Amino acid sequence: MALPLVMGAVIALRVRLLTLPLDRDEGGYAYVGQLILRGVPPYVSAYDFKMPGIYATYAAILAIFGQSPAGVHLGLLVANAAGTVLVFALGWRLLRPAGAVGAAATFAVLSLSPRVLGFSAYPEHFVLVPALAGGLSLLTASRPGRRRWFVVSGILFGAAMLIKQSGIAFVIFGAVVAALYAGRRGVWRLSPPALVLAAAALPYALTCLGFALAGAFEKFWFWTVVYARHFAMEQSLLFALAAARDPAERILPGMFPAVALAVGGAVALWRIEVAPRERAFIGLLAGFGVLSAAAGLHFRPHYFVLALPGVALLVGVAADAVARRVPTRMRVLGPAAAFGVVLLPLAWLLVSDRDLVLERSPERVSRAIYGTNPFPESATIARFLETHAAPDDRIAVMGSEPQIYFYARRPAATGHVYMYALMEAHPYAARLQREMIAEIEAARPRFVVLVNVAASWTVRPGSDRTLFRWWDEYQRDFDRVGFIDIFPDATGYTWGAPAAHIEAKSPVWIAVFERRTR
């Protein structure tokens, strides 16, 4: 009874915020997914270093649930529910029923938390579905005569990696667990890990072949391997460890009961009646989940979603241990005690983040989480562009706000829908800026949106400034027809001729320019 109650509450909270404005990451995935539905492969008309699996996932979501924030977040709701069921299935195989219910309910609650940006459809939520299914397949493969399930698990782990590079941690997890579950004899002991690794490589190999046949392999390789390597190596270990304090200080207060229970579960794991291999499975899943969250040493709050199944299973161990401690003559109280353990993380979430999960409107939740980033404003800007631009008119966004392209349903004048790679310190930055300039000049966009938001650029002291010098000259062929002043508590919109003369009152603003026809 506890699990349906918690899942029902979590689903109701997600439904309340289905229309949460897309952030820039969601907007990028949605825009590329939109292009896929129009027959354009990833990396051809929009560039980013994310793996193609997330774009294919978004394309499927948009096709099924519609091209809107609500459609995107319905897809997230379904993926999260699937992840919860898979955590329950793992708990059922590894623990007693009380532990399985505790693990699944805890995962459902923690993955909802705004502390890990749980309302937004980041790749981590979708990585977990095949990764957890792969773990369940490994447990099936441990039975006699089920060797083919090592192959199934490998394919699923490979699919997780195809959604995001950090999914490779689950590939390694699968190989290690397969080695533990193998027999004790030489060749057989090496065979299951080899099967997992070979099968995990298959989805990636087929993807490479598909991009080669589509004539897009060069861009696919550059963005997902060459540039991604520079991005991953950008952080020094000391700087990364210092940076990890920010998300830790943000996340832990909102998840304190669950983390405390997980620590207790880690201790209890060695005291309750669990087979050594099952004990190792839970410990390794928790460890590799943390490793996947730390991949690349860029610690962002939503990365920690990848660690939640391991944390949840440890909470399940704690719930299992509590149920076991009840004397036999009072056995009926065991499930009740475990039920209390299960509800504690949900109650803490509702208390610590009540205003976000229960009270504020989707737009105000966006502002509370993301500050003055222009996510609520993007839909209004896009409506203006959609109204005033023909379907085949191109637009350019000078800033990392690809959700504007998605909302406006207008093609981008450049594949550079994010500015970050152009501002970073790597050998390709200047070349990428020149490429963006050439693409915009060739496309002759009808409208250009200039975003004066620091987080949309992340300009550094050593950033190349070619793009800004070019814009100073290029804008002379445009009239300013829109100006958006963004404040923490209000946004001012000015459209038409008056926008040409208005002065910014906020340090955060967006201007819309239209090409002169005369």
Q: Note down pLDDT in tens along the chain; length 518 residues.
A: 667 888 888 899 999 999 999 999 999 999 999 999 999 999 999 999 999 999 999 999 999 999 999 999 999 999 999 999 999 999 999 988 888 888 998 999 999 999 999 999 999 999 999 999 999 999 988 777 677 899 999 999 999 999 999 999 999 999 999 988 775 444 445 588 999 999 999 999 999 999 999 999 999 999 999 998 887 666 655 555 655 666 677 787 878 888 888 888 888 887 776 777 888 899 999 999 988 887 766 778 889 999 999 999 999 888 877 777 665 555 555 566 666 666 777 788 778 888 888 889 999 999 999 999 999 999 999 999 999 999 999 999 999 999 999 999 999 999 999 999 999 988 899 999 999 999 999 999 999 999 999 999 999 888 999 999 999 999 999 999 999 999 999 999 999 999 999 999 999 999 999 999 76
The answer to whether 428 touches 421, Cβ cutoff 8 Å, is yes
Backbone angles phi, psi at 396, to 5 degrees: -125, 135
The answer to whether 389 touches 395, Cβ cutoff 8 Å, is yes
The burial of 11, by beta-carbon neighbours within 10 Å (0-12 exposed, 13-18 middle, 19 or more buried), is given as middle
Q: Give the whole-angstrom CA distance, residue 320 versus residue 17.
A: 33
CA 397, chain centre distance (Å): 23
- Following DSSP, what letter does each residue of 33-84 receive, concatenated? HHHHHTTPPTTTSS--SS-HHHHHHHHHHHHHH-SSHHHHHHHHHHHHHHHH
- Phi-psi label, residue 506: left if phi above 0, alpha if psi -120 to 50, beta otherwise: beta
Provide the whole-model pTM.
Answer: 0.93
